[in-house]
Amino acid sequence: MSKVRIKTFTLVEVMVATAILAFGTVLIYRSYFGALNAFAYYDRYMRVNPWVVEMLWRAQDSLKRQGSLGDLESSGMIAADNKSFDWDASYMVLDQIKNCCELYRVDVTGSWNIYAKNFSLTKSIYAVHEQ
């Protein structure tokens, strides 16, 4: 009677195959979550950017007409689609010419959180108030 030997995988081969599969799975999920983070960032960026630009134009118009922000708020929170964004507006006099005009710099910052990371978008604009 001849002995037929059944060939099986050795323990080392099984461990190497498992390690390769685990490494491949980690790489796939890491790239997936990286893409998900990028999508979440740009989704919120696209929501904040138009609002920041609108606030810049409002502040510039107010400074041109009144020489101050007037009744415009300087900070607050926006809620859109169950997401919240904080914002802050500030201005400063850069130059002042006697009996002529003042040059202002206006900064508006929108900030938000994604997965416990803080992100912000700051835009600036200049305004001239003629006296």
For 34-93, the pLDDT digits (tens) are 898 889 889 888 888 888 898 888 888 888 887 776 677 888 888 877 888 898 988 888
Nearest to 71 by CA among 93, 53, 89: 89
What is the C-alpha separation between 18 and 24, in angstroms, rounded?
10
Task: Compute the mean pLDDT over every residue in the chain, rounded to the nearest whole number.
Answer: 86
Question: What pTM, to 2 d.p., does this model score?
Answer: 0.69
What is the C-alpha separation between 131 and 123, in angstroms, rounded?
26
| 67 phi, psi to nearest 5 deg | 85, 5
**Element holding 103 (H helix, E strand):** strand 101-114
